[in-house]
Amino acid sequence: MAKASISEGDFSDIKNCYPECIVKNESGGALPLGSGVMTIIPVMGTSLINAVGIDKRAPSGSFITLHKANDARISKEFIVKNIENDLISINWIKGEPLPVNDIVSKAGFRKLSETSRIEMLHNYIAENRLSPTWVRTTCYELGVSF
């Protein structure tokens, strides 16, 4: 299960803004630095910062969250719910929205029915030691019982 936050803003590849000595010596986003490691992030921008800000305000659970101001931009095929902190959540488990089915098909993924997605969520909860808050909030906001 995952949690996703969607936002918008500017986004840039900044890797080439680092000095050449850093670019040449980093490996997998990490650069040995004295007795520690410096993490190199090759991209940055307000879109990433805004999405992280939304994620920090979202409740614990498996959600797709956006700022409430984006409500009118979401297709009416999706079930959207107001949640705390001026956020909305797209219900990824209920319904069969055509836009999702189209993306899944083009990506070559297997399409899962609502029943299959609910069963996968139940199995995930049963097989993992999750906080009661995560389970309660996820199930309540997605409209499933466990």
pLDDT of residue 74: 93
- Residue-level pLDDT, tens digit, the chain, 146 residues: 789 999 988 888 887 788 888 888 888 888 888 888 988 887 888 888 999 999 999 999 999 999 999 999 999 999 999 999 999 999 999 998 888 888 888 999 998 999 999 999 999 999 999 999 999 999 999 999 98
Residue 130 CA to residue 117 CA, distance in Å, equals 18
What are the extents of the domains in the chain? 4-142
Task: Give residue 25's identity as a one-letter amino acid code.
Answer: N
Total residues belonging to the chain: 146
3-class secondary-structure state, position 56: helix
Residue 80 CA to residue 68 CA, distance in Å, equals 10
Is pTM beyond 0.85? Reply is: no
pLDDT of residue 100: 85
Positive/negative CA dihedral, 101, 107, 108, 113: negative
